Structure 1
Amino acid sequence: MDAVSQRSTLVHDTVRLEQLVVAPLSAVWQAYAETAVRSQWSVPAGQSMVFDADDFHAGGRARYRCGTPGSMEFHGVIEYHFIEPEDTIVYTETVRIGEQLLASSLVSWEFIQEVDGICVVVTDQTTSYVGREMIDDSRNGHTIALEQLVSFLE
């Protein structure tokens, strides 16, 4: 893709979602912090996700594949920048399909104790290199993940 067509498909957006989870803070945190558990609830039904590595600490990196079972065409790299246990996670994420760069994001997860449970707030600031669809897919993916986190824990 040349510089002109790359520029014409560049899209930026911020997605902010909140979900109340009626469960103890420690359980909500562990559901995220444990990679094998996270991969169960964070992928939409009918899709697959495999973490090839997940060094879950500030300065750590994760590599994953996801998508259609059998092909898992999407490849992601996460760099964890800030982790405060049972409070906040901040990371950058880059997603590709083959050699094609699809999106880069700055993502934060906040776990806020409330009277009725834990309010999980996800803020995803994404730059898509391939148009609006990656922004919409990010919003949809986080929405589904949060809904499935509730089902997983409640």
Structure 2
Amino acid sequence: MPVTDVTTDPEALTLTLTADFAAPVERLWEAFTDPRQLERFWGPPGYPATFTEFDLTAGGRARYHMTSPKGEEFHGVWEFLEIDGPRTFTALDSFADADGTPLAEMPTSRMVFAFDQTSTGSRLVNTTYFDSAEALEKVVAMGAVEGATMAINQLDRVLDGLRAYAAGKGTQTEILDDTHVRITRLIEGPIDLVWRAHEEPELVQQWLLGPDGWRMSVCEIDGSVGGKYRYQWEPLEGTEGETFGFDGETLLTEAPHRAVTTEHMTGTEFPSTLNDLNLYEEDGATLITLLIEYPDKETRDIVLATGMTDGMEASYGRLEGVLAGV
């Protein structure tokens, strides 16, 4: 992971994040100063950022919001103070309302981003200065250390480009914390087709099958917010296993980029998971990112032990074949 250290200093009133990248300083600078690239990693998993304003000049400002899996928006605003590209820029960072007005009850901090060349690429040192120990403690208590770490650890895929980042890796499963797992898979095909293949039952039934020897006997999907879905699988003749299924509800949809659903094992009292699907296209290929939130660590470990990753890889392999024929 790129992030090598995150340190809080209650005497200096600072929070400092350090990360190393196998990319030149100029490429790192580009990622932080192009809003379309910045919003691909600035929000931590489950809270992607959308920049609606970005004026990279002294006295200019940037506005953004992060959207939770349930559709809640958390707004922020930067006021740029100093810019010395491609080496450093400084900005005031404030929590804000939906109109971009800083919230008086929340702390405003001064962020300094410094980009330096290393023997293997470049290093980011992001130092945030606070006005008081109380302000520092408040932001840390809100999860700033964990959120910043997970956000910046997403930057590699932006710097490398999707094909280089995902080449030969297949389906990747990352444990982010006790209750969150991130699954990624690069699919050869445009985002619109990948989205359709997740939303249209006649396409879903062709690929979402897991290991060989199973068929999807029920596929009902209402992809609108509040809509329900139901899947059921049954073994083909000669395959051992019992019929099972999942049901859930759509909480958020932003076609063709994001869909958030609950997932519950039909006919059981098991708690639901929260599944946050994100799609991003680059050079004719689409990166599928599925963030799964489990109710607890025990449930997470039970599910991972079922061979979920292998089953998903088999399904995603079929998906590419389906897309080639659409």
On whether the aligned pair clears a TM of 0.5, the verdict is: yes
Is the Cα–Cα contact under 8 Å of residues 91 and 111 in structure 2 kept in the other structure? yes
The corresponding residue for 2:153 is 147
Residues of 2 paired with 1:77 and 1:116: CA distance?
33
Instruction: Compare 35-44 and 141-150 and name the one that shifted more.
Output: 141-150
Instruction: Compare 16-25 and 121-130 and name the one that shifted more.
Output: 121-130
Residues of 2 paired with 1:111 and 1:64: CA distance?
22
1:134 positional shift: 1.8
The corresponding residue for 1:6 is none
Matched to 2:122, the amino acid is: I
Q: 1:85-118 CA deviation, whole Å, 9 max, x = no partner?
A: 1100100011146756322110000000111110
**Identity between Structure 1 and Structure 2 (%):** 27
Is the Cα–Cα contact under 8 Å of residues 102 and 134 in structure 1 kept in the other structure? no
Sort the Cα spacing of 1:106 and 1:85 in 2 relative to 1 into closer, same or farther, 3 A.
Answer: same
The corresponding residue for 1:66 is 66
TM-score (norm 1): 0.80
TM-score (norm 2): 0.40
Is the Cα–Cα contact under 8 Å of residues 42 and 48 in structure 2 kept in the other structure? no
Is the Cα–Cα contact under 8 Å of residues 60 and 79 in structure 2 kept in the other structure? yes
Q: Which has the higher contact order (CA 8 A, sep 6+)?
A: 1
Greater gyration radius: 2
1:57 positional shift: 1.7
Identify the structure with the greater strand proportion. 1
Q: 1:47-94 CA deviation, whole Å, 9 max, x = no partner?
A: 13222211112211111112414221x221210001111100100011
1:144 positional shift: 2.1
Instruction: Compare 92-101 and 115-124 and name the one that shifted more.
Output: 92-101
Residues of 1 paired with 2:94 and 2:51: CA distance?
14
1:142 positional shift: 2.4
The corresponding residue for 2:115 is 111
Structure 2: tracts of 5 or more residues without a match: 1-11, 161-326
Residues of 2 paired with 1:59 and 1:93: CA distance?
13
The correspondence of residues 5-84 of structure 1 with structure 2, limited to 5 A, is 13-69=13-69, 70-72=71-73, 74-84=74-84
Aligned residue among 88, 107, 127 for 1:123: 127
Residues of 1 paired with 2:58 and 2:96: CA distance?
23
